[in-house]
Structure 1
Amino acid sequence: CPGTQSDLAGKASSCQGCPNQKLCQSGQASTDDPAVAEVAERISCIRHKIVILSGKGGVGKSTFTAQLAHVLAQNENKQIGIMDVDICGPSIPVMMGLDGHQVVHQSASGWSPVLSENNVSVMSIGFMLDGPDAAVIWRGPKKTGMIKKFLCEVDWGDLDYLLIDTPPGTSDEHLAIVQYFKEAHIDGAVVITTPQEISLVDVRKEINFCKKIGINILGVVENMSSFVCPKCRKSSEIFHASTGGASVMCKEMNVPFLGSLPFDPKLAQCSDEGQVFISSHPESPAVASLQQIVLS
């Protein structure tokens, strides 16, 4: 979508089939969506909003989001929320040990997010599906409508951090987040990549997307950067960084590099089983890297 303020509003190829095409084309489309102010008021008690992005699928966005929540939740005085806006591929419920919670309770104050730990709450469309194999076949407007509900109708309460897990790319879900957080303000984005160039190509596009729409880039995390042998502690390269990896890309694009996460098969196992990796395997090099990234 070129946006209602663009000269191409209602005229671009992407506008074909949109129910608001004629309204945008006439120049009468309102740029002041009332939901923007409603979202700002509804989540005014959330101190920090961080969006997890990547232009590439399969690089570990949801895994990083879940682990970041666990690390932040080690401080029992902090309240953490995860909003899963990967509408077509929600994996956060499984990773947070909430698979099977298909009922979202509603009270006078709105939908209640599902508690993963005492100080971690989660909202995902995965809780509303008939089963784990149910497919979500929705066009953009319906996805945008669900994200609006997550922001306006969920009783998030008083949070220190809201982590927003997104699908890969720069599509409807990302534009909806930018639109609805216009007055609520996102602190910034953490961009996830892997070392190989095929991943960095798409991540460069994501970084330029953030710069173009005004999202502050908190930094880039290079996931699955190496494998550390649990016996000899020798590090081996998994994906060849033919152009220097994420650290070189960050220098070229003038964005912060937060650090690298080594690959640990136990992390993948914990994610599948909904276990807290940092508690189950505190000796893993990945745990030390995670904690260092959070501190940075």
Structure 2
Amino acid sequence: MAHKTQTPGLEYRLADMADLAHQKLLLCQVCGDQSSGKHYGVICCDGCSCFFKRSVRKGNITAYSCIAGKGNCIIDKARRNWCPFCRFQQCLKVGMNVQAVQEERGPRHQNVYCYAMSSPLTPPCSGGLKNSTLSPQSNENAFNFQMLAQILVTCLRQAKSNEQFRTLSRCQQDAILHLVWSECFVLRASHWTLDISAVFEACGDVALQRIINEAKQINADVMELNFLETLILCRKEYALNSEYASLLESFSNNALLALARYTAQQSNWLRFGSLLLALRQLSLRRYECTLTGLFRSIVKDIIKTL
């Protein structure tokens, strides 16, 4: 019987493939970064291990939601911090064990964020986050700023997709957003489906924490948020000309009427007045100095690129 002759060099190629496979096994199974060993049943890096442990211990599992709203964000070394929901889903997908965290002994109060940052977004050098958070934990501070910046982008993107607002010209839209971006941020961030209170706490700005906590008391549902957002965006005093002034006034009046009808359907006769009062508090912009200091370096570029 004839024996098949082995292709020259095959054993070397097989050895190379084996080495490559071994190297891949040493990479974090969640984000592909260099792993530090086996954590909670899976080979992963310290960043993903810390993220998984914090998420489980702080009970954030059910609070997470996809920032992009699609549930399929890319999780790799460069983008692992963008979407906690998709990152946690990736942790579960590769087999990280929730029970192992719950049964683990050791100090219960860990540093809130143990991330290795690799994002191009960096916090402002001054006038933003408190100096106490700018150093020495620059990685933690960068992550907090990155999260807030991503929330700002999402809030403004939602505003741009507002049914009435999007009918305006780009020039008029941008003019309005430059005036009300902080109101849109506070309204949406205070009702974020993901629990981001730890991010605001880590910023160390008491005024910002108080503002967000007060706005949370509105406790608006999706419909109410949309109506309130329209009322923020469609004030006739922001019009560039008389034609837009009439259009914005019409949008605002329609939103008021729709909100009144909606709250009446809920048989909550005080709700309409409470929402308008909350909107009035937002319009006072007691938080504007704080948010401007935080986002001064990026807000114009965000509006320009949306």
Give the TM-score of the pair, scaled to structure 2: 0.26
Q: Which has the higher helix share?
A: 2
TM-score (norm 1): 0.27
Higher RCO structure, 1 or 2 (CA under 8 Å, sep 6+): 1
**Structure number with higher strand proportion:** 1
